Amino acid sequence: MTLLLALAAAQAAPAAPKPLTPSEIVAQSPATAWREIRPEDLMVIDYQGGGRTIIELAPAFAPVHVANIRALAGAGYWNGASIYRVQDNYVTQWGVNEGGPAVPASVVKKPPAEYDRPLRGLTPRPLGYSDAYAPRVGHALGWPVAWNPATGRANLTHCYGMVGVGRDMAPDTGMGGELYAVIGHAPRHLDRNIALVGRLVEGIENMSALPRGTEALGIYKAGTVARMIAAVRLASAMPEAERPRFQAMNTASATFSSYVRARANRKDAFFNIPSGGVDLCNAPVPVRRTPAPSSSR
């Protein structure tokens, strides 16, 4: 009798719902799964000849460097600067040649080595899969992070699109006037050796699709540049109607957990064998243009 009932139930049951893909999870996410990026944390790079790249800054991880960068943008420091280094499978770098514009007085010339920070206050979501570089990895405050419970320290990680501060040899940390973006496989060996200050959230192709520099380290030949920068501004310094608006997924949300699980277990029609795991930099935090009020869920 039990068997028959079970069979009847099985016959009546609808087909198991098709698991959602990562992009379906993002598309169907509730508004509560997102946080608005503050306009003082959005930096807009406009290029000569057109095109734009937008960066989200990470003041919770490198406050002095980020304050420097905001001050430099506010002073128009990079207006007329160039992208002068594009190294394949590594980084695109931009900044100002020697003898560039004056640095605002508020800029800290020798910032502290903000290569990591206290774990305390982050309460990261563990990724749940192993990592070759750090005892623990996961996400905190919308960012990819690594941490070490033994030392109580946490750091941002060099994933695709992350932005850091160029520097000379230690103990120099870089003032913030030269920045780079990761355009290749995550160079995680740079973690804890450089100040990471943000990530590209739009227009990454304006940095990743440039011709590679032909000199050592992908530097452009003297007298040539990859692209000239017209202006770099914080969104907070733009007229309100012109400001770009973005949201990052809340990495403490249930939606983000579903997204990571789906990335680790792809069951789209295309996939035969879900990998059962995902590495930190292959689970990028979703970022989107803020939906218009009428279309927000």
- DSSP string for residues in 184-220: SS--GGGTTTS-EEEEEEE-THHHHTSPPP-SGGGBP
At 28, is the secondary structure helix, strand, or coil? coil
Q: What is the DSSP letter of 264?
A: H
Q: Which amino acid, one-letter code, is at 49? A: G
Q: How far is CA 89 from the centre of its chain?
A: 17
Tell me: does residue 281 bind a copy of itself (CB under 8 A).
Answer: yes
Tell me: does residue 210 bind a copy of itself (CB under 8 A).
Answer: yes
Pattern 77-96, a copy of itself, x by CB under 8 A: ---------x-xx-------
Q: How far apart are CA 65 and CA 156, in angstroms?
A: 14
- Restricting to residues 250-279, which ones interact with a copy of itself according to CB under 8 A? 263-264, 266, 269-279
Q: How far apart are CA 281 and CA 186, in angstroms?
A: 7
Residue 284: CB minimum distance to a copy of itself, A: 8
Residue 72: CB minimum distance to a copy of itself, A: 23
Pattern 108-147, a copy of itself, x by CB under 8 A: -----x-x-----------x-xxxxxx-------------
Q: What is the Rg, in whole angstroms, of the alpha carbon atoms belonging to the chain?
A: 22
Pattern 165-204, a copy of itself, x by CB under 8 A: ----xx-------------xxxxxx-xxx----------x
Element (H, E) at 217: none
Binding site for a copy of itself (CB under 8 A): 86, 88-89, 113, 115, 127, 129-134, 159-161, 169-170, 184-189, 191-193, 204-205, 208-212, 263-264, 266, 269-282
